[in-house]
Amino acid sequence: MILTLRLLLITFLLTFQQSFIYSQDKPNVVLIVMDNLGWGEIGAYGGGMLRGASTPRLDTLASEGLQLLNFNVEPQCTPSRSALMTGRHPIRSGTTKVVWGLPYGLVGWEQTMAELFSESGYATAMYGKWHLGDMPGRYPTDQGFDEWYGIANTTDESQYTSQPGFDSEVVEPPQIVQSIKGQTPRPVKEYNVETRRTIDAELTDRSVDFMERQVEADQPFFLYLPYTLAHLPTLPNPAFEGKSGNGTWADVLMEIDYNAGRVLDAIDDLDIRNNTIVIWMSENGPEEAPDWFGTAGYWRGHYFTALEGSLRTPCLIRWPGQVPAGVKTNAMVHMTDIMPTLANVAGYEVPSDRIIDGVDQMSLWSGESTESARQGFPVYNGDDMFAYKWRNFKIHYYEHESMFDKPKKHNFPRVHNLLRDPKELYGVHGGHETGAQNLTWVLPAITQEVIKFQQTLQEEPPILLGTPEPYSPSK
């Protein structure tokens, strides 16, 4: 009897302790997102000084938490940000590609991570690049953020006014804007090649100020900090111009590391390190454009393709006492997983009235498991499935080596073993290609997964690009 009571007491205390961890104080969440920073740029992933500038702050962050070696994104900016915010593959949301001058973005019916955090009692702020809609109803402050400072679209626009023949009567000069929930964003200043150099410093300043205000108010917060670097034009802040001695790209790498350090220092200065989840990641593979190209390091390829260099990006996660320090994993994580993984610890519920593709990876993050909660995912580039990644294998349905090439559909899918062939050079066509392993058994295995996914698109028809507001699903 006494033994039974003791066991019951121990079980209660363990359950209470776990509940206490997740409910005593909701953890703050700082989500830092780089733009087109390749897997091979920072020191922790094999870059750093080999790219012309060491990255001590980010390398330290990597050692303080979990380093994902198989973190996967979408091939383009808009779809990646859509997947991150909704936990859904962009093919469902009508956000599969980057467009210019067309109505686009997340319809109001979609529920963003910011809306879920807000409903759970968090203060929410975004400082940086949105790229999920530039019309009323689709701005960040229409989609769950209390405040926003940054740009609606892409950093390409900063070059407009300095390009030959620019006509401001036809195309309005791009603007850096500011907004709070319930208000229309107002222009603050022109976004050009000069303000492009200084915007990331401003985003850092505002992020620090936001955290200070929330700590003073004793309010849990969700800070979304999507920087504009290293997107082209990849220009450093004047304070970093020439600082590396190894050219513009290395100067930018120094600036990226410095800005991350400022945010991390502010977290320490505010004495909230132990109750703050920091996620630092890139939302796309490296630039390929001449003069601005980056590197995916161990992998091959650039964004706008289905190659590993496009899909795998750096991702570091720190949560002292909850996420073990100094751990690296090759377990597969997709950016749609971020939203459902944070649900339990932040106290919000994952929407149940729509298909959510992300899965809860907290067991992997916490070290409770060494296995991923997912086995694979489809790779869409635009509205077509270019590839499917499953376990350690990848099927390519298209030949597409560069964003500047026209995709060519394979007559027979190309299968790669990513452990043996990380550069995706020796894929098998029907088991007959020289140098390749015979992997035809993978074809029926992945085909089953593809069919299951396509069936979900029948169950819940995708939202189409250009869908006007208000939108409600037909089923």
Per-residue model confidence as pLDDT tens digits over 242-268 = 999 999 999 999 999 999 999 999 999
Instruction: Give the per-residue pLDDT at 338.
Output: 98
Instruction: Give the per-residue pLDDT at 422.
Output: 96
Instruction: Give the per-residue pLDDT at 80.
Output: 98
Instruction: Give the per-residue pLDDT at 428.
Output: 60
| CATH code of residue 52 | 3.40.720.10
Does residue 359 lie within any of the structural domains?
yes
Does residue 466 lie within any of the structural domains?
no
Boundary (domain end) residue, out of 324, 343, 366: 366
CA 260, CA 315: separation in Å to the nearest integer?
13
Does residue 256 lie within any of the structural domains?
yes
pTM for this prediction: 0.93
Say if residue 338 is in the same domain as residue 380.
no
Instruction: Give the per-residue pLDDT at 13.
Output: 45
φ/ψ (deg, to 5) at 186: -115, 140
Say if residue 209 is in the same domain as residue 307.
yes
Tell me the pLDDT tens digit for each residue of 186-207: 999 999 999 999 999 999 999 9
φ/ψ (deg, to 5) at 278: -110, 125
Boundary (domain end) residue, out of 333, 366, 399: 366
Q: Domain of 331?
A: 27-155+170-366
Instruction: Give the per-residue pLDDT at 444.
Output: 96
Instruction: Give the per-residue pLDDT at 436.
Output: 55
Instruction: Give the per-residue pLDDT at 429.
Output: 56
Nearest-10 crossing angle of helices 77-86, 338-346? 30
Low-confidence ranges of the chain (pLDDT < 70): 1-24, 427-437, 475
- Cβ atoms of 136 and 215 within 8 Å: the answer is no
Does residue 2 lie within any of the structural domains?
no
Total count of domains within the chain = 2
| CATH code of residue 412 | 3.30.1120.10
Instruction: Identify which of 404, 405, 409, 379 has the alpha carbon closest to the alpha carbon of residue 394.
Output: 379
Q: What are the distances in angstroms from CA 389 to CA 42, 204, 208, 311, 428?
A: 25, 35, 38, 10, 15
Say if residue 325 is in the same domain as residue 199.
yes
- Cβ atoms of 115 and 214 within 8 Å: the answer is no
Does residue 437 lie within any of the structural domains?
yes
Instruction: Give the per-residue pLDDT at 438.
Output: 81
Say if residue 386 is in the same domain as residue 353.
no
Say if residue 225 is in the same domain as residue 343.
yes
Instruction: Give the per-residue pLDDT at 101.
Output: 85
Instruction: Give the per-residue pLDDT at 426.
Output: 85
Does residue 20 lie within any of the structural domains?
no
Does residue 18 lie within any of the structural domains?
no
